[in-house]
Amino acid sequence: MPLLDLLEKYGRMLVLDGAIQLTERDEASYQEMLAFLPLNSHPNPEKVLVIGGGDGGILREVAKHPAVKEIVMCEIDDHVVAACKEHIPSLASGFSDPRVTLHFGDGMEFLGSHAGKFDVIITDASDPVVPDDDEAGKDGPAATLFNDAFYARLHEKLNPEGVLACQVGESMWLHKDLIKGLMKKSRELYPVVEYAYTCTPSYPCGQIGFILCSKNPTLNLRVPVTKWTSEEVKRLKLKYYNTDIHSASFVLPTFMTEFLSSD
């Protein structure tokens, strides 16, 4: 598709290292799901940590949640924040929220130095793999945010009832081995681990997925604790997320369910 046609259909977009990170047309399906799947699974998500997400979209959505009292964000690239504030201001409203404390630096180092714990942690890092001649791709710039040490530190920073949500790669159609490996790693730390996905047309295969984990062994992540009415969804100006799609996002195709349950 010619660039001008693409821009006309999808609006402004953020591109890093040649890969589309978001477009104005479909960013809500990603931002809303990565924010509200964990937030609405927690009974009282007062304190939230966002790692990555320099475009501001996750921050914008987290700030909509009425229970949230404090938001800490750690982003490694201040240029992304500045660029999105200037060129895609619809994403950046959360940066001015008084509940937000913004840190610039490495997420792993931040977790090691920050003393507090959180009710919800959301990681919105770049993809762990990027396109290459090989269909499986190669390690991306944020690959270190998907290793054992990073996951262990995330676990340390969660409160006992805490919920973690991580963006885990493009699509079950391309990276099912990566997804399965990360879920196995997560189950070594958490009693509750689930995989959910959302439909985002501008991403490869039109999908992207998330791993959600909780320290609470009785929590059912598939059923939101907070259920918004259609009037509340409208008041919050949501385009994609609702209570029904929360639960539906965990329903996987047969091939993926079988693959994740196999040894």
Radius of gyration of the chain (CA): 17
Ranges assigned E (strand) in 86-238: 100-104, 118-124, 129-130, 138-139, 158-167, 192-199, 207-214
By C-alpha distance, which of 216, 110, 113 is closest to 159? Answer: 216
CB 214 within 8 A of CB 192: yes
Scanning the chain, the segments in alpha helix (DSSP H) are 3-10, 27-39, 57-62, 78-87, 107-113, 148-156, 176-187, 230-235, 243-248, 254-261
Q: Which of 106, 124, 132, 139 is catalytic?
A: 124
Is 124 an active-site residue?
yes
User: How many helices and strands, by DSSP H and E, does the chain display?
Assistant: 10, 11
**Residues that are catalytic:** 124
